[in-house]
Amino acid sequence: MNTPAAEIDIDADLVDRLVRAQHPDLAGPLTLVANGWDNVIYRLGSDLSVRLPRREVAVELIVNEQRWLPVLAGYVEVALPVPVRAGVAGEGYPWPWTIAPWFEGRTVAAVPPAERAGLAVPLAAFMNGLHRPAPPEAPRNPVRGVPLAARDEAVRGRLRSIPRSAELLALWEKAVALPSWQGPALWLHGDPHPANLLAGADGGGLAAVLDFGDLTSGDPATDLAAAWLVFEEEAREVFRAHVDADETTWERARGWALVMGTALAAHSADHPGMAAIGEHVLGQVLLS
């Protein structure tokens, strides 16, 4: 997704020194798993992972995860990457970092959309459990959980370069005109696309929900966009039947799917997997 440059080099030697200096009882072999937009992730041994910010902007996000994931894990039945240990600056590395569980399985992005129907009920259950009133000190996110009108300029700008833009713009204008969320600010994952969901090793069941870097509170329609991000039409109806949402919230969720889908479609030139998710969701929002 036009990945920004890292602000610090993070290699296996640095991670090994950090772990051995601060948590020597957990030291073990390291394998690079991801060098993403905000974080570098190493697998540590067979059952742990190390997550380190690669940009200063991500530091607050990992601190939010360290503070709030232990709380949120008590609300849901699916596994979350609750920190096992929290690391601090050291060995020339300037920021906090996390040791978390390693979950076996494969991301839902690697499961063909037609084979994801078995995730509909457990994903609805996860969202029903998570979507409860958040405290005033919950993390703030300017692009998630907010009224759709706050994303209007960005979406319109992205639609100029996306196929079927006229149809998508008409759908967007309908969504953005809907009443805003009037309830309390609810806990949100914030980024419920298929690469942040983990299926079992056989591709079935929801094994874990990953990457709470966009954790925030606000309109639950933000997370319900997963109905179009993850599923095809039939599985989406199953998800809809099991999730707690009135009709207006459901229609706003379709708008949120457009927000996320246009972002993925417009900014994933260097990441074919994310581009495929964007193409999928934009096709799905035009169906139902």
Question: At residue 10, what is the residue type?
Answer: I
* Two structure tokens written together for 83: 């920190």
| 123-173 pLDDT, tens digit each | 999 999 999 999 999 999 999 999 999 999 999 999 999 999 999 999 999
* Length of the chain measured in residues: 288
Q: How confident is the model at residue 270 (pLDDT cuts 50, 70, 90)?
A: confident
* Two structure tokens written together for 164: 């079927």
CATH architecture of the domain 12-101 equals 2-Layer Sandwich (3.30)
pLDDT at 8 over 90: yes
Domain spans in the chain, listed from the N-terminal domain onward: 12-101, 106-285
Distance in angstroms (rounded) separating the CA atoms of residues 74 and 55? 30
Q: Say whether 43 sits in a helix, a strand or coil.
A: strand
pLDDT at 37 over 70: yes
Distance in angstroms (rounded) separating the CA atoms of residues 140 and 126? 21
Q: What is the dihedral sign for C-alpha 71, 76, 77, 80?
A: negative
DSSP string, 133-156: BPPTTSPP-TTSSS-GGGGHHHHH
Mean pLDDT, all residues of the chain? 95
User: What is this structure's pTM?
Assistant: 0.95
Residue listed under structure tokens 């080099």: 9
| 91-106 pLDDT, tens digit each | 999 999 999 999 999 9
Mean pLDDT within 170-178: 98
| 47-98 pLDDT, tens digit each | 999 999 999 999 999 999 999 999 999 999 999 999 999 999 999 999 999 9
- Give the homologous superfamily in CATH for domain 106-285: Aminoglycoside phosphotransferase (APH), C-terminal lobe (3.90.1200.10)
Distance in angstroms (rounded) separating the CA atoms of residues 210 and 189? 9
